[in-house]
Chain A
Amino acid sequence: QKEVEQNSGPLSVPEGAIASLNCTYSDRGSQSFFWYRQYSGKSPELIMSIYSNGDKEDGRFTAQLNKASQYVSLLIRDSQPSDSATYLCAVIEVNFGNEKLTFGTGTRLTIIP
C-alpha cells in the first residue's frame, strides 16, 4: 500500500502571512501530485497540480516538488480567512495500468484574522 503522509495540524497562521503545508509520499515511481482543499462537510476541490521537479505558481499558491526527496509542498501567500480549510495532498498511484488517487490525511489550516 502506497502511503502519503501529512502533518495533520492544526496549523494556525496569521492573516497575511505565508502558510506552508508539507507532504511526503512512499512510491518513488509517482509522477503526478495534487493539492486539494476541503471545507468541512464538502468535497475535495483541486487547488494545484504538479508533475515536474521545482516550483509551480498559480496566484497566491505555489506548489513545490522534489522527487529525489519524495516531498511535495504547498505555499499560500497573503493568507486569507477564507483559506481556512483542510488541505489534502494526493498522489496518482498506478497499478497494472489503472490509476487512482491516494490521499494523505490532510492538514487542517486556520488563518487567524
Chain B
Amino acid sequence: EPEVTQTPSHQVTQMGQEVILRCVPISNHLYFYWYRQILGQKVEFLVSFYNNEISEKSEIFDDQFSVERPDGSNFTLKIRSTKLEDSAMYFCASRIRAWSTDTQYFGPGTRLTVL
C-alpha cells in the first residue's frame, strides 16, 4: 500500500541553524500539507501546497519557514533559523484531491530537537 515517507526520523540541531525536513508524498496525490505537534499538544496546521504554490499558511508559518517541491516527488519544509520553540514532531500529509471526503494520509513524522 502506498504511503507517505519522511526523512530524517529525528533531527537534532543547534539554535539558529537551518534545517530541511523531507517528505515523499504518495505518488498520485496532488495536495500536500505540513503539520506540527509540540510534545503534549495538539496537531497544528502549518501550510498547504498545491500546483507548486502555497494554498494556505497558518500564523505559525512565518518568514523563517518555506516549502518547496523541488523535483516532482519530494516536498520539503525548511526552517531558516531554528528556535528552541521549533522543537516538535513535524508531519507531512498528502491527499489525492481537495474534496472534503478525501483523506489526508500522514507520514511517520520527523522529530526536530533544537538545542
B75 close to A (CB within 8 Å): no
B101 near A103: Cβ-Cβ < 8 Å? no
A-B contact count (CB 8 A): 56
In the complex, which range does the number of interface residues on chain A fall in? 20 to 34
Q: Which of A41, A45, A51, A98 contacts B106 (CB 8 A)?
A: A45
CB distance from A90 to the nearest CB of B (A): 8
Interface-side segment among B11-19, B39-47, B64-72: B39-47
Contacts of B106 in A (CB 8 A): 43-45
A43 near B48: Cβ-Cβ < 8 Å? no
B103 near A49: Cβ-Cβ < 8 Å? yes
- Docked CA distance A45–B100 (Å): 18
Q: Which residues 57-113 in A have Cβ within 8 Å of B in the complex?
A: 88, 90, 92, 94-96, 98-106
Contacts of B89 in A (CB 8 A): 41, 43
Q: Which residues 25-73 in A have Cβ within 8 Å of B in the complex?
A: 31-32, 34, 41-46, 49, 51
B91 near A43: Cβ-Cβ < 8 Å? yes
- Docked CA distance A38–B104 (Å): 15
